[in-house]
Chains A and B, each alone.
Chain A
Amino acid sequence: MKFPDLSMSTPVRLRDLIRQIRSAKTAAEERAVVQKECAYIRDSFRDEDNTWRCRNVAKLLYVSLLGYPAHFGQLECLKLIASTRFTDKRIGYLGAMLLLDERQDIHVLITNSLKNDLNHSNQYITGLALCALGSICSPEMSRDLGGEVERLMKSTNPYLKKKAVLCAVRIIRKVPEQFDVFQNSVRSLLTEKNHGVLLTATALVIEMCQQNTHALQSFRKLVPNLVRILKTLIMSGYSPEHDVSGISDPFLQVHLLRLLRILGRNDSEASEAMNDILAQVSTNTENSKNVGNAILYETVLTIMDIKSESGLRVLAVNILGRFLLNNDKNIRYVALNTLLRVVHVDQNAVQRHRATIVECLKDADVSIKRRAMELCFALINPNNIRTMTNEMLEFLGTCETEFKADCTSNMFLAMERFAPSKRWHVDQMIKVLTTAGNSVRDDIVSSLIGIISSSSDLHGYTARQLYKIIRNDITQQPLVQVGSWTLGEFGDLFVNGQYEQPHGEEHIQVTENEITDILERVLNWSISTVVTREYAINALMKLSTRFPNCSDRIQSIMTYYACNMNLELQTRAVEYTSLFTKHNLIRPSIVERMPVLISNSSSNPNANEQQEQIYQEENPSNDAQINHVPPNEPVDLLKLLDEPIQTNGSIHPHEQQQNPLSSNPLTDLLFGDDTSHNHLNNNIIPPMVALDKNGLRIVFTFEREDTLLTIHSKATNATQYPITNFIFKAAVPKTFTIELYPPNSTIIPANNSGEIHQIIKILNPNKDKLRMRIKLNYLFNNSSMGDEAELNTFPEQCYN
C-alpha cells in the first residue's frame, strides 16, 4: 500500500485517505495510518498553506468521525470561515459545527465572521451561517447576533426564514431574556404559505409556550388560525410537493396537533375550539399506512391532554384499541404507552381492552412486555383480582429476570389493596415467592411477615403451608426467610394441630424435632445468605421455649455458633447462649410471641375501617433483631381511657398531633366555607366548653350528619401574653374513628384578639356515648405548659 510521499506538495485527497484507512487490516495499522496523516495535517496547518486547507480539514473531520481527537483543527476552521471561497466557507462551518462547542473559548472568535456572513448577499452563505449559529451558539453570541436573526426572520426568502426561526429557538433557550425580541414576529410567521416556514414556526411557538406561561395565554388567541391551517391541510386534495403516501404534509399536521395540545391543556375555551377539528382528523385519516397512524397517535395524545368532551375521549380510546390489534409492533408499543396514561384518568374505558393487553404479556418483545405489565397492574380492581393474579403468576414464571422484582412488588401492592380474603392473600403471596425465586425485594419479605402476623386466625395454617414447601427446597432465600420466621413464631400451633385444615390436602403431622431439623439445616447450609441464617437462628431461639423437648438441642446449636466466623451470627449466638445460662429466668418472657406488627396502612376496604392520618407509621425495621421488645407501646393517653385503641393497621394516637401545614390560607378558606354553610345545623346542637383554665379557653361547636360529627374547636387566650407552639391532641374510645385536621396556626394572640381554629371529625357508627380525652402542650410566657382533660359532657345530640 502506497503511503503519501511527504515531500509532494499536494496532500492526499480525502477519498484516497479513506481507501487507505479501509484497507488497513488491523486496528493498529489503521491507527498508524491515521496518526501519520494527522501529523502531516498538523505540519501543513503550521505552514499556513491556504490552497489545501479545506482538503485537510475535510480529512480531519472524517478522522474525528472514527473517534480520533481532532481539536487542533479548530483554529483552521475559523480561517476557512473567513475566506471568500464558497467551498472553504462550507467546510469551515461544517468543521465548526462538528468540532466546536460552547466549552471551547475559540468559538467566540467566529462571531465576527458570522455577523458578516449573516448580511451576505448569497443566500446559501447566509444559510450556512444560520446553521452554524443554530448549532453552537452561546449566550454571548446570542446577545450579539439576536438582532440579525430577527431581521432575517422577516426576510421574504423562505429558505432563510425557516433557518432563522430555528436559530431563534436556540437563542431563546440559551438567553431567555431575548424572548421579547422574537415574540412579535411570531404571529406573521403563522400566516405563511410555505410549509417549511410553518413547520419551524410551530417549533418556535412550542418552545416559547414551554418557557413562558404568559406567552402561552397570548398564544391561545391563535388557536382559530391553527385550526384553519389544519383544516386546509386535511381538506385539500393531492398536492405533489407535500405528499407523503397519500397524506398531505403529515409532519406539519403532527406539529400543529402538538401545538394545539400545549395550547389546549387546562383551558376549556381553547379546547372547545379544537373539538371539531380533532374529530375530523380522527375520522378522515386512513390508518392503513404508517403515516396515517402517526397522525392518529398524535391526535389521541392531544385529545387526552386537553379538556375534550367525553365523546371525543371514547373515540380516542377506540383508536387505541384498534392500534392494539394491529400486527405492527411499533403501533402496539405506542398504544400501550398511551393507554398507560389514559388509565389513570379513566379506568373503565381501558378495561374493555383488558384481554388484548393480557395477550401482549406473552409477546416476545421486551419493550412491549414491560408496557403490558405496567398496564395490567394499573387495571387490577376488586372484580378481576383473582383472574389477573393468575395471569400475572403465569407471566412471572416465564418472564426475564429484570421484570421479576418489579412484578413481585406490584403484585404485592395490588393484593394488599384488593385481596378478597386474608387466606387467599397469604396463599397467593406464597405462590409468588415460590415462582419468583431470589429476585424478590427485601421489603416484600417484611411486609409479608407483617400481613401474616396481623391475620391471627391464619397463623397455624401459614406455618403448615410454608413447612410443606420448605422441607423440600430451601434454595429460595426470601421464601425461606418468611418460612423461618413463621415457623419460629407459630411452630407450636402447627405441631399441636391448632389450625384450620385446608380442604383436600393431606394431613401433615410433624414433630418438634422435625421443625428444629429444618431450621438447623437452613442455618448450617452454606448457600443460605447471612440474612436467611439470621432469621433461622432467631426462629430457633423462639422455639427453645415453645418446644421444651428441644431446648437442650437448641442450646447446643447456639454454643456451636458462638464461634462462627460471621460477626452478626456470632453475636447473636453468644447472647442467646447467655440467655440459656445466666438469664434463664427471663428467657421465656423475652422470646414470647410477638404482638401484631404494624405495617404501612393501606386502604383495604375489606379490612377494618382504616384511619387516614397525615403521618404514616414506618414499617418496624428488620424484626429479626436481638431485642424482642414489642414495638411502640400504646401511649399513656389511651391507657388512661382504659380501653386500648385498635392497632390493627391503624396509626398510633400519639401521632395524631398535627403541625401547621403551609397550606394554611387554603384550609382557612375551606374551613371558612364549612362554618358558613352549616350555621343552621349549629343551632340544633349547643356548643360546649371543653376547657377553661389559666386564661386558655377552648370551645367546641358541632355539626352532625348522621354518624359523622364535625367539631369546630376554637381556642382563645384571655391572658396578656401570647400562647405559642400550641399543640392539641385528642383520643376517643375504640368504637369511634377520629380525624384531626391541621389547625390554622399554633399561636393564640393575647387578650382574646385572635383564636386557633381546628376541625375534628368523629365517626360514630354504633351511636355510642361520646367521650374524649384531650391533651394540650404550649409555650406560655417562655415556659412550656401542658394540660389534660377528659370530656364526658358532650351534648346528647352529638351521638344519639
Chain B
Amino acid sequence: MIKAILVFNTRGQPRAIRFFESCSTELQQKLIRESYQIISKRDINACNFVEYNDNKLIYRQYATLYFVFVIDSSESEYDIYELIHIFVQCLDQYFENVCELDLIFHSDKVNHILNEFFMGGFIVERSPDLILNDIRTQIRLERQDSGVLKQMGSKIKSVVDTKTEKMKLDVEKKFDIKL
C-alpha cells in the first residue's frame, strides 16, 4: 500500500500532503524534510527509486515540483512510477496547464482529486477522464448549494425592485411631482 503522498517544491516547501497511515504532525514534517534532503541531492539522471528505512520513495520531478510516493514492499515500484504520471496528467487536465501556483491556491481541490484517486493507500480509479467527470459533477453540486441562496436573493431583489418602482410611480402620480 501507499503510505504517503508528498508534493513539495525544489526549496522543500510542502504543496500537498496526504498520509494514509496515522502519524503525528511532527513525524509528518520530519518525513517531508528528510525526503526533501534525500531527493534534492540526487542527480537528474539517477534512478527514481530510493530506499528509505523499510520503505521506498518513488519520485518524479515536474518543473519546480517533486511528487513523492512513499510505498512499502507490497507495491511494485514501476507501477507507482506510472501512476505518478497519470496523477499529474489529471491535475493538468483539470487546471489547464497546471503550475505550482495552482496547487498553492487551490489546495482543497487538489485534495479532492487525491480523494478520488486514492483511498486508504490503495488505488480507486486510474482513468483521469472518469475522475474529472466526477470532480466536475461535484463542483456543480457545490455551486448549486450556494447558487440556491444566490437565486433566492436575486429573486427577492427583483421583487423588491419592482415593488419600489411601483410605489415610486404611485407617489409621483399622487403628488404630481418628479422623484
Contacts and interface: CB of A to CB of B under 8 A. Distances in A.
Interface of A: 14-15, 18, 22, 58, 61-62, 64-67, 69, 85-87, 90-91, 94, 97-98, 101-103, 122, 124, 127-128, 130-131, 134-136, 159, 162-163, 166-167, 169-170, 195-196, 199-200, 203, 241-242, 244, 249-251, 254, 258, 290-291, 293-294, 297-298, 301, 329-330, 332-334, 364-368
A87 B146 contact: yes
Contact of A162 (B20, B46, B125): B125
A203 B122 contact: yes
Contact of B111 (A15, A94, A127): A94
Contact of A58 (B13, B108, B123, B137): B108
Contact of A330 (B78, B115, B120, B137): B78
Contacts of A203: 122-123
Interface residues of B, number: 52
Interface string B105-141: 1011001100100011011111101100010011001
A258 B123 CA distance: 14
Question: Which of B17, B126, B129, B144 counts the most A-chain CB atoms under 10 A from its CB?
Answer: B126
Contacts of A330: 47-49, 77-78, 81
Contacts of A199: 123-126
B76 A134 contact: no
A301 B77 CA distance: 12
A334 B77 contact: yes
Nearest to B51: A367
Contacts of A86: 138, 141-142, 144-145
21 contacts: A62-B107, A66-B13, A90-B142, A94-B111, A102-B22, A124-B137, A128-B115, A134-B119, A166-B120, A195-B127, A196-B125, A241-B129, A254-B76, A254-B79, A298-B79, A301-B76, A329-B48, A330-B48, A367-B46, A367-B47, A367-B50
A294 B105 contact: no
B167 interface: no
Given A298-B76, A334-B77, A329 B119 contact: no
A294 B138 contact: no
Contact of A297 (B46, B78, B146): B78
A169 B144 CA distance: 34
Given A62-B108, A134-B119, 13 more contacts: A15-B105, A18-B104, A22-B104, A67-B25, A87-B145, A94-B108, A124-B141, A131-B119, A170-B120, A203-B123, A254-B76, A298-B78, A329-B45
A307 B104 CA distance: 51
B49 A367 contact: yes
A249 B126 CA distance: 9
Contacts of A163: 119, 124
Nearest to A328: B47
A251 B75 CA distance: 12
Contact of A124 (B47, B50, B138): B138
B14 A69 contact: no
Given A90-B112, A166-B124, A199-B125, A368 B25 contact: no
B82 A200 contact: no
A162 B124 contact: yes
Contact of A196 (B50, B107, B127, B144): B127
Contacts of A301: 76
B83 interface: yes
Contacts of A134: 119-120
A294 B49 CA distance: 14
A362 to B, nearest CB: 14
Given A66-B14, A170-B120, A251-B123, A334 B112 contact: no
A294 B47 contact: no
B43 A365 contact: yes
A466 B123 CA distance: 61
Interface in B7-61: 13-18, 20, 22, 25, 28-29, 43, 45-51
B57 to A, nearest CB: 11
A162 to B, nearest CB: 6
A330 B50 CA distance: 10
Contacts of B119: 130-131, 134-135, 163, 166-167
Contacts of B126: 196, 199, 249, 251
A197 to B, nearest CB: 10
B86 interface: yes
Contacts of A130: 119
A69 B28 CA distance: 12
Nearest to A291: B82
Contacts of B134: 124, 127, 159
Nearest to A250: B82
Contacts of B81: 290, 294, 330
B127 A241 contact: yes
A249 B120 CA distance: 22
A91 B108 contact: yes
Nearest to A331: B78
A787 B16 CA distance: 77
Contacts of B129: 241
Contacts of B50: 367
Question: Which of A62, A90, A130 counts the most B-chain CB atoms under 10 A from its CB?
Answer: A90
A232 to B, nearest CB: 17
Contacts of B79: 251, 254, 294, 298
Question: Which of B122, B129, B142 counts the most A-chain CB atoms under 10 A from its CB?
Answer: B122
Question: Which of A15, A65, A128, A203 counts the most B-chain CB atoms under 10 A from its CB?
Answer: A65
Nearest to A68: B25
B107 A294 contact: no
Contacts of A102: 22
Contacts of A293: 78
Contact of B25 (A18, A62, A64, A366): A64
A65 B145 contact: no
A293 B119 CA distance: 26
B82 A294 contact: yes
Contact of B16 (A14, A65, A195): A65
A702 B73 CA distance: 52
Question: Which of A91, A97, A364, A368 counts the most B-chain CB atoms under 10 A from its CB?
Answer: A97
B49 A87 contact: no
A260 to B, nearest CB: 13
Contacts of B20: 135
A61 B110 CA distance: 12
A169 to B, nearest CB: 6
Question: Which of B45, B108, B138, B144 counts the most A-chain CB atoms under 10 A from its CB?
Answer: B108
A69 B144 CA distance: 33
A365 B46 contact: yes
A166 B115 contact: no
Contacts of B144: 86
B112 A200 contact: no
A62 B111 CA distance: 11
A166 B22 contact: no
B161 to A, nearest CB: 25
A97 B22 CA distance: 10
